[in-house]
Amino acid sequence: MLVDYTGPLFCVDYPCKKLYILLFTCGVVRAVHLELTNSMSYDDCLLAFRRFSARRGLPSVIYSDNAKTFISMSKQMHQFFGTLAPQWKFVVPHACANSRPLTFATDDPNSVSLLTPHFLIGRTVIVELFPGKNGIIRSVKVKTAKGVGAQISCA
């Protein structure tokens, strides 16, 4: 399951109050569950997670970004759920995630030009392809002009 915040949202009845949505996405069946919260604080996140768990059940694995709220939640899971606590995994930092190749930029099979999310914001990306013994690409090394990079293995 993937968990992340979105917002702020503004309510017509309370124009000065910010609201947030805690988004839960199932990685297996792609189901989406939304919980409205008053803030992105640890306490509101915990309440939203408890409401989610009561309705949908406790997930076995949770993926999230490295927000302080989620780091605090991951540390407290065993206190609240004991041995049933889900395993919490954090995704790569934002810059590396935005460097991963989405698709080839051309139809030429010999081209190493790849389309990445950086293309959308005008940043350059340096890509190295590492083929296996059979010539099929098994690993891709992606690096931005600022030196932030990641190595992605292809299964």
List, for residues 62-112, the tens digit of each pLDDT value.
Answer: 999 888 999 999 988 888 888 888 999 988 665 555 555 566 566 666 655
Number of domains in the chain: 2
Q: Are residues 63 and 119 in the same domain?
A: no
- Is residue 125 located within the same domain as residue 67? no
Do 86 and 148 fall within a single domain?
Answer: no
Could you tell me if 117 and 47 lie in one domain? no
Q: Are 81 and 110 members of one domain?
A: no
**Quick one: pLDDT at residue 124?**
57
18 shares its domain with 82: yes
Cα-flanking dihedrals φ and ψ of residue 40, to 5°? -100, 25
E-state strands within 11-148: 18-25, 32-37, 61-64, 87-90, 103-104, 114-115, 125-131, 137-144
Residue where a domain stops, chosen among 90, 113, 131: 90
Residues 43, 81, single domain; the answer is yes
Cα–Cα dist 67/11, whole Å: 25
Question: Among the ranges 9-18, 38-47, 86-95, which has the highest mean pLDDT value?
Answer: 38-47
Q: Do 60 and 84 belong to one domain? A: yes
What is the reported pLDDT for 8? 87
Residues 67 and 112 in one domain: no
* Chosen domain end from 90, 116, 138: 90
* Nearest-5° Cα angle at 48, 42 to 54: 135
More confident residue, 35 or 103: 35
Are residues 86 and 99 located together in one domain of the fold? no
Give me the domain span that covers residue 23: 2-90
Distance CA 79, CA 101 (A): 39
98 burial type by CB count under 10 A (0-12 exposed, 13-18 middle, 19+ buried): buried
Residue position matching structure tokens 């392809």: 129
51 and 81 assigned to the same domain: yes
Q: Looking at 90, 113, 140, which one is the last position of a domain?
A: 90
Q: What is the overall mean pLDDT for the chain?
A: 78
CATH code of the domain covering residue 68: 3.30.420.10
- 49/111 same-domain check: no
User: pTM score, two decimals?
Assistant: 0.60
